[in-house]
Amino acid sequence: MIKKALAILGSTGSIGQSTLDVVRINSGGFRVVTLAAGANIALLKKQIIEFRPRFVSVKNEAACLRLRKEFAGDKIEFGYGPEGAARAAAFRGVDIVVSAIVGAAGFLPTLAAIKAGRKIALANKESLVIGGDLVMAAARKKGVSILPVDSEHSAIFQALKGHRKNELKRVILTASGGPFVNTPIEELATVTPERALKHPTWTMGRRITIDSATLMNKGFEVIEACALFNLPPSKVSVCIHPQSIVHSIVEFKDGSMISQMGPSDMKGPISYALAYPGRIKSGIEPFELAGKTLEFIEPDLRKFPCLTLAYKVAALGGTYPAVLNAADEVAVDFFLKGMIKYTDIYEVIDTVLDGHSSVAANSVEVILEADRWARVQARRIAKKKN
């Protein structure tokens, strides 16, 4: 069997490590050709030794130079920065790019992968949040498949198989509700990063864990679903499902609802994206439905104002989504460093959006400029709250 050649962008992160777990248990099916990471060089070195990639990229030049020296004679090329990650994505011979760098930093490498004609296993939802039209148009032009890794979008993708798009009534994204689903609103101003990082059902990177607590992550997923499945925001609903067993639902015009279920382990959607249209071992623990309860609850928008914000932005389009994402990245970072309150996250983002004059998001430059502008504004506003 010919092994599929993989580029893993964000290899040291939660999704990157789960992807490598899937590769380990399907070692006959895949080979890792490139890795791209940020600053966790200790873990990256272990991955290099185990998987022997041809090219490796890191965030900064100094780390790149050190690695080049350390692995001299190993026939491994090294790069750094956005160009390095883009090179890892477009590297010769790669079949599938797992795009799992966190944040807007994943946008250019995802585009580079598409331009090189690589199949994309997309975890980096920010690529579709900030540049959905551009990314989807580039993928259409190149005939590139974008396979969602986000569990909700993977579920929708699977539930849509064999059905006609014009018979779809809406999609329903499920959300665990995060750690504060039952916390009184009055308490939210005093919750600590440690409490917010304790996700009840999923183990993920720090930023997405905080975004899951505020439901901003679900808001991003609404925008992601609109881009991926070519839907207006009015056809994308959100429902709290605390057990995280139903990963999302598609409702058809005859009232039928089709869902995909499974344990909350990202190795499920990752293995599906890697093996599509087939299926392979995922390594997820055996799962029994007997004894489980499934609840579905309307989100309390007073408690989760970020979700309302994301819906507004989804409807407005233009550069608003890029501003939403960038302001959120900054606000979450300030919160995690203990510099603003949990409830300030929403306020910072809302204020930045208020001050933005949106234009059509029709080029990479326009999107990156909106991203830069929003980061400056968000830092200024967050510092005032400190």
Ligand X SMILES: NC(=O)c1ccc[n+]([C@@H]2O[C@H](COP(=O)([O-])OP(=O)(O)OC[C@H]3O[C@@H](n4cnc5c(N)ncnc54)[C@H](OP(=O)(O)O)[C@@H]3O)[C@@H](O)[C@H]2O)c1
Query: Which positions lie near ligand X, rule CB under 6 A?
Result: 10-16, 36-40, 59, 85, 100-102, 105-106, 123-126, 150, 202, 204-206, 208, 266
For 136, 302, 365, the CA distances from 86, given in Å and listed in that order, are 18, 40, 16
Least separation in angstroms between CB 253 and ligand X = 29
Please state the closest distance from residue 190 (CB atom) to ligand X, in A. 26
For residue 234, give the nearest of 170, 296, 298 by alpha carbon.
170
Helix (H) or strand (E) segment spanning residue 261: strand 257-261
- Compare residues 36 and 181 and give the one whose CB is closer to ligand X: 36
Choose between 20 and 101: whose C-beta lies nearer to ligand X: 101
Looking at the DSSP bridge assignments, the partners of residue 35 are 8, 56
E strand segments, 123-243? 146-148, 168-175, 236-240
Least CB distance to ligand X at residue 203 (A):
7
Q: Cβ closer to ligand X: 12 or 26?
A: 12
CB of 129 to ligand X, least distance (A): 9
Q: Between 139 and 351, whose beta carbon lies closer to ligand X? A: 139
Please say which residue, 11 or 377, places its beta carbon nearer to ligand X.
11
- 124 or 248: CB nearest ligand X: 124
User: Which tokens hold the place of 60?
Assistant: 């900064």
Give the helix, strand, coil percentages of the chain, each rounded to 5.
50, 15, 35
Which DSSP string do the residues of 320-332 spell out, in sequence order? Answer: HHHHHHHHHHHHH
Residue 140 vs residues 119, 122, 228: alpha-carbon distances, Å: 12, 15, 11
Q: Could you tell me the smallest distance in angstroms from the CB atom of residue 325 to ligand X?
A: 10
Residue nearest ligand X (C-beta atom): 13
**Among 351, 349, 328, which Cα is nearest to 210's?**
328
Contact in structure between 205 and 102 (CB atoms under 8 Å): yes
Q: How far is the CB of 372 from ligand X (least distance, A)?
A: 15
**Residue 208 CA from chain centroid, whole number:** 8
